[in-house]
């Protein structure tokens, strides 16, 4: 990787030029774009006509490519690899692995995510604060990966959506105590797991949810809540208790959209996972681990796997899938509802969840919902930064922000699948695109 400063400690200055830049705010593009990078930040962004570079400036000419902000994955589990017979096998067993093995998986997955264009990810549940450690390691360039917003372990009630008993926390006072400890250990957000227990009941009581949000906000960190089920009781409870971001968002319908649109709560969707059958078998992982030679090749493979799954399982389009109390939504009505939520102005971002190295496919999904390409891209860039609380520093191509950006071959405004064809990957002014997937 190229350093962001020279041997004398002076901030390195260089520039990129491309046919088009998508700023990431959902509305702005720049033709014949030029960006000047100084150290870790963007020093200037503009058109070739308006932005004149100092003679002798090193310029990377990208020709007909498109520049975009580095992607921001707002729902990611770095250490998980969905392999096994059923989810109840692979998830708990992986969390009981030795820390060294958990970390090894995470390091591998972080590299995949970085090379598919993700320069920041929001971690939503890891064991033993491994994500806190990895956030520091990435920051200090010990590990190649996206910048990490760590949550530490998730919280949930006994018998709720916690995966393992060690994550169970019951009662308002215990919740406050645990959250305080998490923040002291480095958590930058608090993740809770909720399921619809009944039409008007979720996993935590209102008093417990109030303890989560009050204590987290008192300590200056946001709350993200896994919300899935048949009735929407978890989502409604989160809106009432001022949870910042709802993850997954099942069910999604006009009533829920109306309630959420009157609040400050945002959505972090995980759309592409609904197009695949989980968990995948050994052949699938062999492509990721040994056969795919580029991020595009891996994403193309996943896109085709998704099409094949839907063709073989047409009911997925019209019927919900239930895994105990967990629900994957029927695609057709959920996709229509996603567009309605966008039209209602609800802040929405996207995340990959467990599959790694496929993040752009989530922005493609948003476009398939009927959302314009600029807004679909913003769901993984500028809007994702807003949902994650980091819009002051990243998410859009603007002077003064971090030099987190990618280039793709082609124009994603004309063909959204161009987002798969990643070329340049820059995080904090440093290029990483020379790395291999494996």
Give the three-class secondary structure for 191: strand
State the Cα torsion 197-199-205-207 to the nearest 10°.
160
CA gap 61, 18 in Å, rounded: 6
Sign of CA dihedral 87, 128, 222, 169: positive
Q: In angstroms, what is the C-alpha Rg of the chain?
A: 21
pLDDT of residue 436: 85
Spatial contact of 41 and 18, defined as CB atoms under 8 Å apart? no
pLDDT of residue 276: 85
* Number of other CB atoms surrounding residue 43 within 10 Å: 16
Q: Where are the domains of the chain?
A: 13-67+396-431, 71-278+310-388
Strand partners, 33: 18, 47
Spatial contact of 131 and 151, defined as CB atoms under 8 Å apart? yes
CA gap 31, 43 in Å, rounded: 18
CA gap 406, 411 in Å, rounded: 13
Superfamily of structural domain 71-278+310-388 = Metal-dependent hydrolases (3.20.20.140)
Please state whether the predicted TM-score (pTM) of the whole model is above 0.85: yes
pLDDT per residue as tens digits for the range 69-125: 999 999 999 998 876 555 555 566 677 888 898 999 999 999 999 999 999 999 999
Token representation of residue 338: 């996603």
pLDDT of residue 373: 98
pLDDT per residue as tens digits for the range 228-287: 999 999 999 999 999 999 999 999 999 999 999 999 999 999 999 999 877 778 888 899
Question: Could you say which residues of the chain have pLDDT below 50?
Answer: none
Q: 13-67+396-431 — its CATH code? A: 2.30.40.10
Token representation of residue 121: 């990810």
């Amino acid at each position: 990787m190229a350093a962001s400063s020279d041997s004398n400690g002076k901030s390195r200055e260089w520039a990129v030029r491309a046919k088009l830049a998508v700023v990431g705010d959902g509305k702005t593009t720049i033709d014949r774009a030029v960006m000047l990078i100084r150290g870790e930040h963007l020093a200037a962004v503009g058109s070739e006509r308006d932005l004149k570079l100092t003679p002798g400036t090193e310029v990377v000419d990208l020709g007909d490519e498109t520049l975009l902000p580095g992607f921001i994955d707002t729902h990611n589990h770095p250490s998980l690899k969905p392999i096994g017979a059923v989810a109840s096998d692979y998830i708990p067993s992986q969390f009981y692995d030795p820390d060294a093995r958990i970390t090894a998986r995470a390091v591998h997955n972080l590299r995949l995510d970085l090379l598919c264009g993700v320069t920041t990810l929001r971690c939503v549940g890891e064991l033993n604060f491994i994500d806190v450690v990895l956030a520091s390691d990435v920051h200090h360039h010990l590990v190649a990966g996206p910048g990490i917003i760590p949550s530490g372990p998730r919280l949930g009630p006994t018998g709720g959506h916690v995966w393992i008993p060690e994550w169970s926390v019951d009662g308002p006072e215990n919740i406050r105590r645990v959250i305080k400890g998490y923040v002291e250990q480095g958590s930058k957000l608090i993740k809770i797991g909720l399921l619809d227990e009944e039409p008007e009941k979720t996993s935590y009581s209102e008093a417990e949810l109030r303890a989560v949000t009050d204590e987290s906000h008192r300590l200056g960190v946001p709350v993200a809540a896994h919300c899935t089920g048949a009735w929407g009781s978890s989502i409604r409870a989160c809106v009432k208790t001022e949870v910042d971001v709802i993850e997954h968002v099942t069910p999604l319908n006009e009533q829920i959209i109306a309630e959420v649109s009157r609040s400050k709560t945002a959505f972090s969707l995980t759309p592409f996972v609904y197009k695949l059958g989980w968990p995948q078998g050994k052949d699938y992982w062999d492509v990721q681990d040994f056969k795919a030679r580029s991020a595009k090749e891996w994403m193309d493979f996943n896109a085709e796997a998704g099409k094949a799954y839907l063709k073989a399982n047409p009911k997925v389009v019209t019927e919900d899938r239930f895994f105990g109390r967990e629900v994957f939504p029927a695609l057709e009505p959920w996709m229509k509802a996603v567009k309605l939520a966008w039209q209602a102005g609800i802040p929405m971002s996207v995340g990959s969840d467990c599959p790694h190295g496929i993040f752009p496919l989530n922005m493609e999904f948003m476009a398939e919902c009927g959302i314009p390409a600029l807004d679909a891209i913003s769901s993984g860039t500028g809007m994702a930064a807003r949902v994650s609380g980091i819009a002051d520093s990243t998410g859009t191509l603007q002077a003064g922000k971090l030099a987190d950006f990618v280039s793709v071959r082609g124009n994603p405004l004309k063909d959204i699948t161009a987002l798969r064809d990643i070329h340049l990957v820059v995080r904090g002014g440093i290029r990483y695109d020379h790395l291999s997937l494996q």
